[in-house]
């Protein structure tokens, strides 16, 4: 009996010891504890600094541009710094996407969609999505017309909410959400939603809550799977499931509506084209109804969220820097005037307005992480060993707002930092949409949205700090960074 107990203790001790032992030549980082790895250290530093991107930036100063962590069951590598980041984003060995419950439960336990898939499946589906979206205006003149139309709705909505009072105090971190979604959803599903749509506002509110409570490396239940059974609420599992049930229901209703009104000879949007493929006897096995739902969910959750947060940063800094606002308005008046809305054709003649967009993107990216990658096989990064299936993620702070960004006073909002001799000048390390084969496919639409929405709003209105309501400079530390709740006093330009 005692021999069995002794043997059990020895085996348990050996397993505990092995769980704290790092792979040979693994990137440097904090010590590992049994089962927890370096989770407690990360939590402590995140609590001390207030943000995960700051905590990991400080770790990189101590350990180097590649930081090796272990959080629960996951080997996690944080990349910080220009050279390491470019090597990482161009590596074929590190071009995979993570697996596991957190990344697959959102698509019914399968690897579906385009945001979190890889290899041949990802290439085929991404190529198809881009080709079909272009047919419905993506990256073309029709896209500008569509955004201009949505900008007009947005300006009129503000005017209607303002009424006869001559001013409006608005919640700026969410005022763009539905308008941004409409520019994407029109191409995907041929639908435009009212900015006052209660169901969609509620859904986006739920989604915003989820994104604020998880981050790019997952949630406690993904790193410690047992927590979804013993602490479903505390681990984030319950919120994760609830949010995705709402999103699934929303998209399912739209696909059902399309199937009922579908005319194969006259596809109206991306959904119709995909349904045509599903009904074709020659369709490939990667084209399924679940994959259609997953693509739409990727677009809904990622496409609208990041652009809305960038616009939130834009207007936060515009109300804090009214001199920037006035310079942009002077350029808008000079190039566009007041009798029509700005268009993308005006963009080459509006360098200062375009620099405002670049600066807002820098403020967003400087607090963001890349979408996680997975090591497809045992490999190396900056000379360190990266085991197969490790999660690798880039902290974009250093190249946009940190010591390597090359900008003076990087915390300040200065659009003119992108101007040189009156022309726009970008540094090589300015990559708010990523780099390499996984560069964000929505870059064209996102930049167009931020440019036209901002220019249209500034053409018609002034934005200032409401009396007694100074905005907080604190940010949301979640999947996508964004300003915390703030209001703006909106008045018509006379």
* Closest to 311 in 3D by CA, of 482, 87, 120, 159: 482
Considering the entire predicted model, what is its pTM? 0.93
Residue 177 has pLDDT above 70, yes or no: yes
User: Which tokens is 128 given?
Assistant: 């198809």
| pLDDT tens by residue, 269-327 | 899 999 999 999 889 999 999 999 999 999 888 777 899 999 999 999 999 999 999 99
> Mapped to the 3 state alphabet, what secondary structure does 317-364 carry?
HHHHCHHHHHHHHHHHHHHCCCCCCCCHHHHHHCHHHHHHHHHHHHHH
Greater pLDDT, 126 or 262: 126
Q: How many CB atoms lie within 10 A of CB 426?
A: 10
CA distance 470 to 476: 17
pLDDT for the residue 441: 87
| pLDDT tens by residue, 467-477 | 998 998 899 98
Check which CATH number belongs to the domain holding 187 and give it: 1.10.630.10
Strand, helix or coil for residue 214: coil
Which structural domain range is residue 331 located in?
Answer: 2-492
**Structural domain tally of the chain?**
1
Which pLDDT band, with edges at 50, 70 and 90, does 17 fall under? very low
Q: Which residues pair with 71 in a beta bridge?
A: 37, 74
CA distance 117 to 96: 7
Burial of 494 (0-12, 13-18, 19+ CB in 10 A): exposed
| pLDDT tens by residue, 192-208 | 999 888 888 888 888 88
């Amino acid at each position: 009996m005692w021999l069995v107990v002794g043997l059990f203790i020895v085996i348990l001790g050996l397993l505990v010891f092995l769980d704290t032992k790092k792979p040979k030549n693994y990137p440097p980082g904090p010590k590992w504890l049994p089962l927890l790895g370096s989770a407690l250290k990360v939590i402590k530093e995140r609590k001390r600094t207030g943000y995960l991107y700051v905590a990991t930036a400080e770790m990189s100063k101590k350990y180097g541009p590649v930081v090796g962590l272990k959080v629960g069951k996951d080997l996690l590598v944080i990349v910080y710094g220009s050279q390491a980041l470019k090597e990482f984003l161009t590596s074929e060995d590190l071009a995979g996407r993570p697996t596991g419950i957190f990344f697959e439960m959102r698509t019914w336990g399968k690897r579906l969609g385009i945001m979190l898939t890889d290899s041949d499946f990802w290439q085929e589906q991404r190529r198809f999505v881009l080709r079909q979206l272009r047919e419905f205006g993506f990256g073309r003149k029709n896209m500008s017309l569509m955004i201009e139309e949505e900008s007009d709705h947005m300006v009129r909505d503000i005017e209607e909410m303002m009424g006869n009072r001559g001013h409006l105090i608005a919640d700026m971190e969410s005022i763009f959400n539905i308008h941004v979604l409409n520019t994407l959803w029109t191409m995907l599903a041929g639908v435009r939603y009212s900015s006052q749509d209660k169901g969609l506002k509620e859904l986006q509110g739920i989604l915003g809550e989820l994104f604020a409570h998880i981050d790019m490396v997952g949630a406690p239940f993904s790193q410690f799977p047992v927590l979804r059974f013993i602490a479903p609420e505390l681990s984030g599992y319950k919120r994760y499931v609830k949010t995705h049930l709402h999103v699934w229901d929303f998209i399912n209703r739209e696909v059902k509506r399309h199937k009922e009104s579908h005319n194969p000879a006259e596809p109206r949007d991306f959904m119709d084209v995909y349904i045509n493929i599903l009904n074709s006897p020659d369709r490939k096995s990667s084209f399924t109804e679940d994959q259609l739902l997953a693509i739409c969910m990727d677009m809904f959750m990622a496409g609208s969220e990041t652009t809305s947060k960038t616009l939130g940063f834009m207007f936060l800094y515009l109300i804090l820097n009214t001199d920037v606002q006035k310079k942009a308005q002077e350029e808008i008046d000079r190039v566009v005037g007041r009798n029509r809305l700005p268009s993308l054709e005006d963009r080459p003649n509006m360098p200062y307005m375009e620099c405002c967009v670049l600066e807002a993107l820098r403020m967003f990216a400087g607090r963001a992480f890349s979408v996680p990658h997975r090591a497809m096989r045992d490999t190396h990064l900056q000379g360190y060993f990266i085991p197969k299936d490790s999660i690798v993620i880039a902290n974009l702070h250093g190249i946009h707002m940190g010591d390597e960004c090359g900008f003076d006073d990087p915390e300040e909002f200065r659009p003119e930092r992108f101007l040189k001799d009156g022309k726009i000048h970008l540094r090589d390390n300015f990559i708010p949409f990523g780099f390499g084969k996984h560069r964000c496919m929505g870059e064209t639409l996102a930049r167009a949205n931020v440019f036209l929405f901002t220019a249209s709003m500034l053409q018609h209105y002034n934005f200032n700090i409401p009396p007694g309501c100074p905005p907080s400079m604190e940010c949301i530390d979640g999947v996508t960074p964004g300003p915390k709740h703030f209001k703006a006093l909106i008045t018509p330009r006379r």
